[in-house]
Amino acid sequence: MSHSRTKIGVAAVSAASVAAVALAGVAAQADPKEPTLGGEAPIDLKIGSAVWGQNELLDYDPDDPNEFQSILGSEFNSLTPENDMKWSELHPEPDVYDFSGADAIMEFAEANGQEVRGHTLLWHSQNPDWVNEAGGAWTCQEARDVLEDHVATVVGRYAGEIYEWDVANELIQDDWDEGGVKLRTEANPFLKACSEDPVALIGDVFRWAHEADPEAVLFLNDYNAEGINAKTDAYYDLAQELLADGAPLHGFGAQGHLSLMYGFDDSMQANFERFADLGLKVAVTEADVRMPLDENGDPTEEQIALQAERYDGMLQACLNVPACTSFTVWGFDDARSWVPGVFDEGYATIMTEEFEKKPAYFTLLESLTDATPGRSPRTPPGLNK
Ligand code: XIL
């Protein structure tokens, strides 16, 4: 196994200078002379952020970006639609598609020299009412027809423009869920309709996506899927079953939603390696590291340092496995993070609400810089336009 991306050189940005900048709390600027995460990454690894196009990009003017848009456009070379390509946003009624948010992301990415990861085509969550209501009543053939039409329409619309698709998201439940680790045949309306042979349906969703865009790299994606555990064992079996059946499965994504309330699973690299050994790509698709905060809503110094370590732990697992194609953060600033709305925790992203770069940001930057000696870094997004 090659370790060409492990740390082998002298960091261009020393730890001391990184710390000094971190302490100064310099707000992120879209200064082309400043190093960026995407610009420092090895040429075969994309660094992405999720963004909600409907909320953040409809008013985008390339000649007059706001501060958020400016950082998004310069810091990252990949974008994932945080919600805009989910069923509830894209396909609110049986015969109605709304591509406004998704198109805004595609246009922003194009203007900034970025690539796009699609998210997601088959999931038990964020489905429109009409799908949830029909789910219990569909025959398997009816569910298949609806899903095939959606996949062909959505993947076809962006064919050639999306480099990776999270085709199937969160297919397998956790060991603490009722019934234990198994396919979500109750919660997912499509799997429910086809519960006699859900794997056949899953394989066909990959086939439909592949037909619509033969170039896109097609992923399974889930949370609690970083290390080797009962859930990833089930994914390992599922991946082998799909591949044996000839399904065009190309990748396995670990979301990377971590919390400092739990430990870091050191088996992440080994987990990625076993999927890579099946011939799959791997990716960190939704990284954030949340934590419980004090009564003022602040983290401790120890938590801030540990957060940087955890982000870097995930990046190292990716850098050390050549099959790892992308490392995406689930939003880069705390003001837009999904975490406080869902968990009683916060401070999960790599920049504060005021876009101050946290130590986690500088640690990622340093690791990416260290990973590139002797390789051509990617052209910083925006500079080649
Ligand atoms: C989250 C979004 O960030 C929120 O804005 C939305 O309200 C709920 O979904 N795993 C996934 C993502 O695959 O799609 C989820 O995104 C976060 C968990």
Residue-level pLDDT at 109: 98
In a mutational test of the pocket of ligand 1, which residue from 52, 80, 82, 222 has the highest number of ligand atoms less than 8 Å from its CB?
Answer: 82
| Mutation test residue for ligand 1: of 330, 343, 345, 349, the one with most atoms within 8 Å of CB | 330
Measured CA to CA in angstroms, residue 78 lies from 48, 91, 167 at distances of 4, 24, 17
- For atom 13 of ligand 1, the residue with the nearest CA is 169
What is the distance in A from the centroid of ligand 1 to the CA of 338? 7
Q: Which of 166, 222, 286 to mutate to test the pocket of ligand 1 (most atoms within 8 A of CB)?
A: 286
pLDDT of residue 247: 98
Residues classed as catalytic = 170, 286
266-276 core/surface letters (b: 16 or more CB in 10 A; e: else): ebbbebbbbbb
341 CA: nearest ligand 1 atom? 7
pLDDT of residue 2: 39
d(CA 263, CA 260): 7
Domain 40-375, what fold?
TIM Barrel (3.20.20)
Residue ranges lining ligand 1, Cβ < 6 Å: 82-83, 169, 223, 255, 286, 338
Q: Half-sphere exposure of 29 toward its Cβ, with a 13 Å CA cutoff?
A: 7
Q: Report the interhelical angle of 359-370 vs 301-319 (nearest 10°).
A: 30
Rounded Cα distance, 370 and 378, in Å: 14
CA 37 – ligand 1 centroid, Å = 23
- DSSP letter for each residue of 299-333: --HHHHHHHHHHHHHHHHHHHTSTTEEEEEES-SB
**Residue 23 CB-density burial (10 A; 0-12 exposed, 13-18 middle, 19+ buried):** exposed
Compute the C-alpha angle 63/67/73, nearest 5°: 65
pLDDT per residue of the chain (385 residues) written in tens, 0 to 9: 334 453 333 333 344 444 444 444 444 445 667 999 999 999 999 999 999 999 999 999 999 999 999 999 999 999 999 999 999 999 999 999 999 999 999 999 999 999 999 999 999 999 999 999 988 899 999 999 999 999 999 999 999 999 999 999 999 999 999 999 999 999 999 999 999 999 999 999 999 999 999 999 999 999 999 999 999 999 999 999 999 999 999 999 999 999 999 999 999 999 999 999 999 999 999 999 999 999 999 999 999 999 999 999 999 999 999 999 999 999 999 999 999 999 999 999 999 999 999 999 999 999 999 996 433 344 443 333 3
Closest ligand 1 atom to Cα of 285: 13
Ligand 1 atom at minimum distance from 123 CA: 13
Domains of the chain by residue range:
40-375
Q: Which atom of ligand 1 is nearest to 330's Cα? A: 3
- 82 C-alpha vs ligand 1 centroid, how far in Å? 6
Tell me, what amino acid is at 65? P
Q: Ligand 1 centroid vs 339 CA: distance in angstroms?
A: 9
Q: What's the pLDDT score for residue 30?
A: 54
- Taking the centre of ligand 1 as the mean of its atom positions, its distance from the CA of residue 181, in whole angstroms, is 21
